[in-house]
Structure 1
Amino acid sequence: MTETTRHQQPAVREEILAYYARGKEDARLREGGAPAGRLEFWRTQDVLRRLMPAAPARVLDVGGGSGIHAEWLARDGYEVDLLDPVPLHVEQAARLPGVTARPGDARALPADDASYDVVLLLGPLYHLPERPDRVRALAEAYRVVRPGGLVVAATINRFAGLHDVLREERYFTPLHRRRTDAVTADGRHHHHAEDGLFTVAYFARPEEPPTEFTDAGLTVAGQYGIEGVAWLMGGIEDWLDEPERRAAVLAATRRIESEPTLLGASGHLLTAGRRPS
């Protein structure tokens, strides 16, 4: 049975679509982008390359954006299908060699049961503020991944906004402080049209994704803090521009990536699970 016969396509909030239609997401993670974005990209790549089965394998990149990760996955020899609700992202990803891109929503995947070896959700979960929607997205990943297959999802950590706004000194502005403090209370980041800093999102505590994976039927296999504490340190930009220091930063961050007491220090967290065989 195909999913297109099972669910009506859910609606994505207009604020989220408008935010990503600006076309800035691709540059954020690429060489020359902000240090935190580059560190996020390299560390996500590092973790995924250790978790994924050997190529060739079928990968569904759900909410894959402009194809920033699909691009290197295809170069590594994987067969990559990308889904994203933002038309600009689909257009950008479709230009990449070895990547098939089409519109889609994480909560209603247009894919057959057990048709992929790996399902990646590196963006959708933190744009689904309601827990039932996140579990539904993970249940869809469970459905389309083969038994024994890998599911990896990214979340934004609960205090990432507080760390980021303080590091960039916006926390000293009363308005930004009030908004940031509110997010730390309930995890809900609201859309504020006048600043355009981010859009509707949910910032999760590290213990939340494993319970959502379990509710979706997935067996949790591990959690990985992406940026560690390195993204908060002064000098990170210079370190990442020097190959030897960059390698040292990545190695240090890998050393603490699954340390339970430090999982929440990262800006982003990867949770990995498998569909039971």
Structure 2
Amino acid sequence: MVELDPLIRAFYRDRYVEDDRLARSGHGRLEFLRTQELLRRWLPPKSVVLDVGGATGAHARWLASDGHHVTLVDPVVEHVQQATTIGTFEAVVGDARHLDQPDASVDVTLLLGPLYHLVEAADRAQALSEAARVTRPGGLVVAAGINRYAGLLEYGSSGALTETNEREFIEAFETGRNHDDPNGFTNAYFHHADELTAEFAAVGLADIETLGVEGPAITVLHFATPEEADTLLPSAIRLARRLEADPRLISASFHFLARGTVGQ
């Protein structure tokens, strides 16, 4: 039984077009290309991959094209219906906290969205534990987190930060929680990089690495036109790659990507 927050379900069903999120803007393209780069660096060839929270298949598409055997799991029925039309991977409705897959049945489990919307620490821990359970010993769990400073970086870089709305970031800084905004994002949890690392360690994952995805140029790409993005992307990717593990600059990214190994 998938128990999805009704506000989150309404956000993805009625207010947000998920299918082209990583293609329609410069910052989305930067996030996509860097996530793809990191996954290609980490994943063994021809892996059995479980893409939990894979939405309409933005990453499942290219993973399948790369030769991986991919099963996508998502709680939003409409996402799964759209993903099934692609035909190169399996797509099923499911909940990151209660996966139907057997123990040690996949090589890699991806959580490239679920930790955003599991605002309770216990739910995030359960999702990571489930990912570790279904992944074979020595296999990888990879999860994305939204940087707790992402909203402030976006507003401050756009000229939209004011004395009034600056105060609205205080709760997010203190608690990590974002509340549903009819004109913005929905209920979510925002991480510090070391916090995401600690959540991996708490469920017994080893050899943990947490990197910044987009790098400091994300704020420039966020407001670039499509034509400007074409020019800016190669340099932005090179910059992100250079600084991805620098603890002094990792929080310049809007997103983090963490990986951990399941114990033998």
For the superposition of Structure 1 and Structure 2, which TM-score range results when normalised by the shorter chain? over 0.9
TM-score between both structures, scaled by the size of structure 2: 0.94
Deviations 1:180-217 (A, max 9, x none): 33312221100123x1x100001111111121111112
Deviations 1:59-94 (A, max 9, x none): 000000110000000111111000000111101111
For residues 148 and 108 of structure 1, the distance between their equivalents in structure 2, rounded to whole angstroms, comes to 22
Match of 1:121 in 2: 111
Match status 1:98 vs 2:88: yes
For residues 250 and 239 of structure 1, the distance between their equivalents in structure 2, rounded to whole angstroms, comes to 14
Are the equivalent residues in 1 in contact too, given 2:152–2:169 (CA < 8 A)? yes
For residues 11 and 2 of structure 2, the distance between their equivalents in structure 1, rounded to whole angstroms, comes to 18
Alignment of structure 1 residues 60-209 onto 2, 5 Å: 60-172=50-162, 174=164, 176-193=165-182, 195=183, 197-209=184-196
Which 10-residue stretch deviates more, 256-265 or 100-109? 256-265
Equivalent residues, number? 261
For residues 181 and 208 of structure 2, the distance between their equivalents in structure 1, rounded to whole angstroms, comes to 36
For residues 144 and 263 of structure 1, the distance between their equivalents in structure 2, rounded to whole angstroms, comes to 30
Are the equivalent residues in 1 in contact too, given 2:137–2:262 (CA < 8 A)? yes
Structure 2 runs not aligned, ≥5 long: none
For residues 157 and 11 of structure 2, the distance between their equivalents in structure 1, rounded to whole angstroms, comes to 23
Secondary structure of the 1:207 match is helix
Are the equivalent residues in 1 in contact too, given 2:101–2:134 (CA < 8 A)? yes
Are the equivalent residues in 2 in contact too, given 1:10–1:107 (CA < 8 A)? no
Q: In structure 1, what residue type is equivalent to 2:171?
A: A
Deviations 1:95-137 (A, max 9, x none): 1131100101110001000000000000000111111111110
Identity %: 44
Shift of 1:18: 0.7
Structure 1 runs not aligned, ≥5 long: 1-8
Q: In structure 1, what residue type is equivalent to 2:77?
A: P
Cα RMSD, aligned residues only? 1.6
TM-score between both structures, scaled by the size of structure 1: 0.89
Secondary structure of the 1:27 match is coil
Are the equivalent residues in 2 in contact too, given 1:230–1:236 (CA < 8 A)? no
Match of 1:262 in 2: 249
